[in-house]
Structures are given as C-alpha cells and as structure tokens.
Structure 1
Amino acid sequence: MRPGAAASRGGAGAGSSRRPGEERALTSVSAGDRYEGEQPEDLPRLWHVTLTVSGAEAPLKEVRRALEQLAHDHPFLLTSRYACDHAEIRYWEEARDLHDAAAVALRLWGEHRRTSGLPPWEIVGLEVIDRETYHQRIAEGYGPPPATPVGVHPF
C-alpha cells in the first residue's frame, strides 16, 4: 500500500504495549499476508475515484502539461480530461474503506498543485465507489465508460 493511502489504525496506547516515545519499526508485508487479528473487512480494497476540479480559465497547454506531470509523478492516475476551466481525474485507490480513499482523493489536488504546476482550482466534485459497484455500473451500461484511452485528454 502506498504511504498515506490509509489512515493509521490506532496510535500509541491503542491496544499497543509500546511505551510512550518508543519508536515502532516498520516491516514489509507480502501480498496476501495478514496481521494477527486482522479481519477481511480491514484489508485494503480498490476504490474507483473521480475527482472534479474547476476555477478561473488557464491556458489549455499549461493545464495539459500540469496534468501530464501529475500523471508522471503519480502513475496510479488512469485518465484525466480537461478544459480551460475544469478537469476530471479518474483513478483507482487502494484503501481500507471509503473514508480513507476519499481523504486521499481530497488531498490530491492541493498537495500536488505546486510540484505539478496545477491551476489554483478548487475541488467541486468527488465520487468514490467500490470495485463491485464500478463493474456493476459498467455491466448495466450507465456507469462511466472504462478509462480508455488511458492518459490526459481534452473534453
């Protein structure tokens, strides 16, 4: 799981035998491994995220370049669509629950605005759905079309 993809479950003292101020070592966990006492509902799941932003007009070339930089820096992005005053970013997020996936999505634009050169737009829409719901919508013909072609494209 990516750092920051899910909020920490409990701090020092929350079911922990660590003493205050004691450092906790981080260890890698192989795919499929479980922590002792971890339930299936605690394991990370895939969430389909659609983040919509808008604001004052910006030159199309700059918007495209910024979204391409964001996709380069964060290759989990599936597709971005853009115009001079709004954009939509779609991607899959791995998180334990919807709250964690939404929290990461809501930070994405602001945290990478400077490093990617993104316009100073605000988030005006957010949809986070689980994998089953995404595939059900596609099968029923009323969900967003699959993200093809992948990449950055104008509306």
Structure 2
Amino acid sequence: MGEPIRLWHVTVTVAGNAVEPLVVRNALRRLSDQRPFLHSLKYAGSRAEIQYWEEGETLLDASSLALRVWNEYRESAGLPRWEVVGLEVLERGVFQSRGMEYSVIVDLQDVTPLPF
C-alpha cells in the first residue's frame, strides 16, 4: 500500500505574449467551470495565477499534476498559449503554518486582476 493521500496547496503562474485582459478573464472563468476547486484566479494581459488544493501522495505527484493543468485545459477553456513560469506547492501543514489560510479567496466566481 502506498503513502497516505496528502493535501497540497498549489500556485501556478503562467505568462506569455500579451492578449486582451478581458479575454484572459473570460478564459479563467471557463477554466473555473471546468476545473472544480480552483479558489483564486488572478490575471493580467500577459500573466495569470491560479491557486487550488491538490491531493497526492508526494510533492512530486502534486507538482506533476499542477504543471499540466494549464495545457490540459488550454483548448477547452480558450486559455492563452502561455507557459508555466512559476510553481509553488506547499503541504497543507506548511501552508497553514504561514497563516495563509485566512488570505485565500474562496469565491469560486472571483477572477481578479493582478497588480501591475
């Protein structure tokens, strides 16, 4: 039997050629509809950040899944052809120890602009 399933907090940052920010926002809304449990979606014309919880036995498992999210939903959600430029994966206890659980956006429909 394998390791117990653990919960990981994932932040994926993608970037690429600039597109109309409204296009990015609408694509992120479609992504949110298609990929349940995304809890924070932020965007700009050339960058986006998504945050969610992932289950996995190890950090490697959670990271591997996270690195595929953008590309797997690119066509169906109409996401820009951007690449992953940042990835943070934290075990639940580490995430909570930072006191970050209180700053998490929980409105699944909330797609907010990134600061410039």
The reply on whether 1:147 has 2:104 as its aligned counterpart is yes
Structure 1 residue matching 2:76: 3-state secondary structure: helix
Taking a change above 3 Å as real, the CA distance of residues 145 and 51 of structure 1, as seen in their structure-2 partners, is farther
Distance 1:105 1:49 in 2: 7
**Structure 1: any 5+ residue segments left out of the alignment?**
1-37
In 2, distance between residues paired with 1:149 and 1:132?
A: 19
Shift of 1:81: 0.5
Structure with more strand by fraction: 2
Residue number in structure 1 paired with 2:33: 72
Residues 119 and 61 from structure 1, CA distance in 2 versus in 1: closer, same or farther, beyond 3 angstroms? same
| CA distance in 1: counterparts of 2:18 and 2:101, whole angstroms | 26
Q: Identify, as 1 or 2, the structure richer in helix.
A: 2
Q: Which residue of 2 aligns with 1:136?
A: 97
Structure having greater relative contact order (Cα 8 Å, sep ≥ 6): 2
Q: Does 1:103 align with 2:46?
A: no
Q: Secondary structure at the match of 2:40?
A: strand
Q: TM-score, normalised by structure 1?
A: 0.68
Pairwise CA distance, 1:146:
2.1
Q: Secondary structure at 1:84's aligned position in 2? A: coil
Matches within 5 A, 1:6-155: 38=1, 42-138=3-99, 143=100, 146-150=103-107, 151-155=110-114
**Bigger CA radius of gyration:** 1
**Cα distance change of structure 1 residues 84 and 145 upon mapping to structure 2, 3 Å threshold:** farther
Matched position secondary structure for 1:124: strand
The size of the alignment, in residue pairs, is 112
| TM-aligned CA deviation for residue 148 of structure 1 | 2.1
Tell me the TM-score normalized by structure 2: 0.90
Flag structure 2 segments of 5+ consecutive residues without an equivalent: none
Query: Which aligned segments of 4 or more residues in structure 1 are displaced greater than 3 angstroms?
Result: none
Instruction: State the distance in 1 between where 2:4 and 2:106 align.
Output: 30
